Amino acid sequence: MLTARRGDQPVGNGTLSGTSCRQCGRAPSRPGATVCPRCGIPFGGAPRDDVALPTCHICYATVGDDGLLPSLAGTGRGVPIADHLAEHDRYPVGDDDWLDTLRHGDRIRVGRWEAPFDIVRRYLVTGVFDAGRRRAIQHDAVVTAMSQLSRWGAGASSIVGDQADWREARDAISALMERFHRR
C-alpha cells in the first residue's frame, strides 16, 4: 500500500531531476520514496563515499563528489547521472550508429585490422579531449591492440610487422576518429 505523505521536501536542488539516485541513476519506484533501495542513500543526495563514483558509459565522464556533471546543454547547471544519460540523446559524442556497423561482437574492424571495441571507442571519445603525450599513448595502445589481435586472427598476413604497416595502422585509426566525429 502506498503511504506517500504530502509535504515531503525534495532533497538536493529541488528540481525534478534532483529526485533520481545520484549513485545508480534509479528513479523512485513509488511516490514518496526518499531512499534508493539499491544504494541506501537519499534520492537527490550525494553518492556514497565508500564505492566508486558513477561513470557515464557513453562519454566516460565521472560525476563529481556531489554526484553531478555539468549539463551537456551548456547551461552551467549540474545534473545527476540519470539526466546526463538522457541528455546524450540530444548531445551524442559521435556517430555510434556508424561505428556499430564496423563492430563484430566485442571487436571492431579498423582498416585491415581489428581491435577490442571498447578500447577503440574509448579512444575515439576521450582522445579528442586529451592532448599531447596522453593522447599519443592512447593512440599507440590502440595500434598495439590492433597488432596483437590480428596476430591470432584469420588474416595472419595483416600483422603490424614493419614501419609501413605501423604507419598504415595509425592512419586507419586516425581516419576512424575523423569519421566518428563528422557531423
Q: How far is the CB of 57 from Zn ion (least distance, A)?
A: 8
Q: How far is the CB of 153 from Zn ion (least distance, A)?
A: 32
Stretch that binds Zn ion, among 16-24, 44-52, 109-117, 173-181 (CB under 5 A): 16-24
The dihedrals phi and psi of 102, each to the nearest 5 degrees, come to: -95, 0
Q: Is 46 in the site for Zn ion (CB under 5 A)?
A: no
Q: Is 102 in the site for Zn ion (CB under 5 A)?
A: no
CA pair distance 39, 59, nearest whole angstrom: 23
Q: Is 82 in the site for Zn ion (CB under 5 A)?
A: no
Measured from the CB atom, the residue of 70 and 111 that comes closer to Zn ion is 70
The CA–CA distances, whole Å, from 59 to 16, 93, 155, 162 equal 23, 7, 32, 34
Measured from the CB atom, the residue of 39 and 68 that comes closer to Zn ion is 39
Contact call for residues 76 and 112 (beta carbons, < 8 A)? no
- 3-class secondary structure, 116: strand
